[in-house]
């Protein structure tokens, strides 16, 4: 991914926190000149060898299944908050732009057997059901419901590279940076407000270095 140096984030803890908070990603594969993509939750974890992985599953009816082979390379894309930034917010003439946060992960895929698939789905459910008032446990589901596991294919992706772009108006002085933040907050939209918070944190962290 092309990332100008000023926007490149190399903070491992921050990036991994982002991947956990924005786990609904896009898995991209390419075989024989044909690319395919699926939007799915991809859980950040570690395998038995203590290596970082993403794990997930897709329907066996998905044509991308034909791309999923042991040892194949996979690209996973995760997007965070983003917003248009109008140059009318600045005190000088400039073109408008877009602020955003995006992380790309590349790795090598390994298919899961039925037991490993069960554990993968269980971890996914446990992670998100923990926030529910009445959590559902995979082990409590009926045999009839559990038959649905036979309709999916599970995999893990051993991570070999992570690239993170945090384009948060780092190239603007404090006055114009504050103006962008104020305009984003004025929208009272969740995504713009989250982006404004990330801009403020990035600027605060930079000053503390």
Q: Are strands 43-46 and 34-41 parallel, antiparallel or unpaired?
A: unpaired
Q: Mind listing the pLDDT tens digit for each residue in 134-147?
A: 999 999 999 999 99
pLDDT tier at 206, thresholds 50, 70, 90: confident
pLDDT of residue 51: 96
> What span, in angstroms and rounded, lies between the C-alpha atoms of 106 and 109?
10
Domain boundaries, the chain: 5-172
- The CATH architecture of the domain made up of 5-172 is Roll (2.30)
- Two tokens at 20? 């956990």
pTM (two decimals): 0.94
Q: Mind listing the pLDDT tens digit for each residue in 13-52?
A: 999 999 999 999 999 999 999 999 999 999 999 999 999 9
Find tokens 């104020």 and name the residue: 182
For the chain, give the percent of residues with pLDDT over 90: 97
CB 83 within 8 A of CB 98: yes
């Amino acid at each position: 991914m092309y990332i100008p140096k000023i926007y490149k984030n190399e903070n491992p803890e921050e990036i991994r926190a982002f991947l956990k908070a924005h786990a609904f990603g896009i898995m991209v594969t390419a075989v024989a000149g044909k690319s395919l993509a699926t939007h799915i939750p991809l859980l950040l974890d570690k395998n038995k060898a203590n290596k970082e992985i993403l794990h997930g599953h897709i329907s066996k009816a998905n044509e991308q299944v034909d791309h999923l082979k042991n040892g194949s390379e996979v690209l996973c894309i995760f997007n965070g908050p983003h917003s248009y930034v109008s140059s009318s917010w600045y005190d000088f003439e400039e073109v408008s732009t877009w602020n955003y946060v995006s992380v790309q992960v590349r790795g090598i895929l390994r298919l899961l057997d039925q037991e490993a698939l069960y554990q993968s789905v269980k971890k996914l459910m446990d992670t998100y059901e923990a926030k529910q008032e009445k959590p559902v446990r995979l082990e409590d589901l009926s045999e009839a419901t559990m038959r649905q596991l036979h309709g999916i294919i599970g995999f893990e992706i051993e991570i070999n590279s992570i690239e993170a772009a945090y384009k948060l108006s780092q190239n603007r002085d404090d006055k114009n940076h504050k103006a962008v933040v104020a305009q984003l907050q004025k929208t009272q939209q969740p995504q713009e407000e989250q982006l404004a918070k990330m801009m403020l944190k990035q600027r605060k962290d930079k000053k503390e270095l």
